[in-house]
Structure formats: structure tokens, C-alpha cells
Homo-oligomer: A and B are copies of this chain.
Amino acid sequence: MRVAIAGAGAVGRAVLELAGGYGHDVTAIFDSSGAAVDTDGLDPETVLDRKEQTGSVGSADRDRALDGPYDVLVEATPVTLGDAQPAFGYCRRALERDRHLVLANKGPVAERYSALRALEADSAGTVRFEATVGGAIPAIRTIEDYGPSKVRAVRGVLNGTANFVLTRMAAEGLGYEDALLEAQDLGVAEADPSFDVEGTDAALKGVILANVLTGGDPEFTLADATVDGITDIPASALELAAEDGQTVRLIGEATRETVRVGPRLIPEHGTLAVSGTRNIVQLDTEHAGRLNISGRGAGGPETATAVLADIGRLG
């Protein structure tokens, strides 16, 4: 497949780097400053060097990337809420050109699911978005393979940053602020961590899962989610929990009716109590009981692996 990549953050760069190993050619990549385009396939190293030295992957016009020859567009620009622009526009352009679309960007799938599916219905291209939930964890594909109607609920630890903070609070008796500072020192939390610690990121994933369960009818957006973060959890809450063999995790849950994210008491050694930045997705199925999938929920190569698995399942 010929792959065009929108966005040159950790995920976009990892897709560029790994695509060759899966038999694909990256013919274009763009970031906010410019584009690199080569219809014969870009050399990843050259592009990545240039990105590191100049801050941009290239000086070509973004339209050359979007209008150039490719079979699948990988949408890996930063998440935006509401209209999910400019990502949604890139998605539209790919589908209107009858190209496939693989998203790592949660915005369009969480905020404009029905619009995205409507574009897909009018296109010869297919939309996939495994990478939007749980990084390398094959949550979406497993729901699709089981049949969405055969899955009653999906829950889990959907944000590695919040989970790292809670894990450190429990393990070391740290307060929230100290655990957050440690996470920021290690690069696990952003300078502005609100997207992760307030539950927004987990909620977007919950919304995507709910949309997969319902097929978009009803359609969920972030506005439909009930969201509590971890910013107000005192160290004493984790100590009290531990005395009772429990711990606290930020759990996201999606059903066909609701999306909820909030801190929950769970058994300390229970299945959902994954440690550090790991994620877990738990499916309650109709005929096969409970299925748990845990793994790395974020990171460039991890998320790129999900993107490349999606590309592998196309046509």
C-alpha cells in the first residue's frame, strides 16, 4: 500500500519508520509547517533527520501531500474537540477521493462519528481506527470480530498517564501533586496534564467504544460522557483502600446507553489493576464471558503497530 501520513508527532513518525517493514511505501507526510512528498516512497531517515533539524518534515505544500498518490491516509494530527478540525477535513478529502482512512486521532471518531461513517458510505474507501483506543491493544477489532451486538459493555484503564500517577500514589504514599511531578519528570505526563488527569482522554476513548457498540445509533460525543478525573484524590484515599486490599483506578466504561469515566475502587490484585502506564480493556460478552486485553496504551511504535495492523486489514 502507498501510505500518506497527516501529522509528524510520535505516532506519525513511528508509522513512517515502521511502514517499510510491513511492505508499505510512505509517499507523503505533512506536519503543521510543511510536507514531504515522493511518489516513489520517502526515505524515512532523511525525513526524520530533516524534521529534527528544521522542525518540519519538508517544505512542500500540504495540498501536494493530500492530493498526491496514496491508497490510505493515516490521520495522526493532534486531537481537537468539537468539529475535530482540521483533521476532519483531511479525512473528508481522503474519503472523497475513494481512499482508505486509518485514524490514530481520536477527535473525528469521538466527536463526529456519524459524519465520518456517512463519508465512508459514499466512498470506496474504508475507515479504521484501532489506534484511537488503548494503543497496541486490539479493542476495536475484537469487538468487531465478536460482533458489536454480542458485547454488552466495555470498561478499563484507558489512560496511561492517570494510571501511572495513581500507581505511584498507591505504591509510595505520594500525594497527587508529587506523583504528577514525577510523571512529568519522566515524560509520562505533559506540562499541561489536564487532558489526561481530568479524564478527557479516557472519555474520548469511551465515546469511541460506545459508538462502536451502537454503530453510531445513538451517536455519542464527549458531551454525552459523565467524566470525573483524578485531580482531587487525596493520598489518604489510596491508603484507606490499601488497608482493605483495594486500590483506585481511573476506569472508563462504555455501554450502548452511557459513557462514564471516574476513579473507582477495585481489588488491588484484580484484573483491572494494571500498573504504571499500561492500559487494559475488558469486554463483557454475550456468550463468552469476560475478555481482558492489556498492554501498552500509548507510545509511538505501539500506536503505529495498531495503525499498521489496520492497514493490513484493508482490502
Please give the residue numbers on chain A whose beta carbons come within 8 Å of chain B beta carbons, in ascending order: 14, 18, 21-22, 135-138, 141-142, 145-147, 150, 269, 271, 285, 287-296, 301-302, 304-306, 308-309, 312-313
Contacts and interface: CB of A to CB of B under 8 A. Distances in A.
21 contacts: A21-B150, A22-B147, A136-B291, A138-B138, A138-B142, A138-B145, A138-B291, A141-B145, A145-B309, A146-B305, A147-B309, A288-B296, A288-B302, A289-B302, A290-B295, A291-B293, A291-B294, A292-B292, A292-B293, A292-B295, A293-B293
A103 to B, nearest CB: 16
Nearest to A292: B294
A146 B302 contact: no
A14 B136 CA distance: 32
Given A138-B142, A147-B312, A289 B285 contact: no
B136 A288 contact: yes
B137 A313 contact: no
Contacts of A290: 295-296
A288 B135 contact: yes
A290 B296 CA distance: 7
A295 B293 CA distance: 9
A301 B313 CA distance: 27
A289 to B, nearest CB: 5
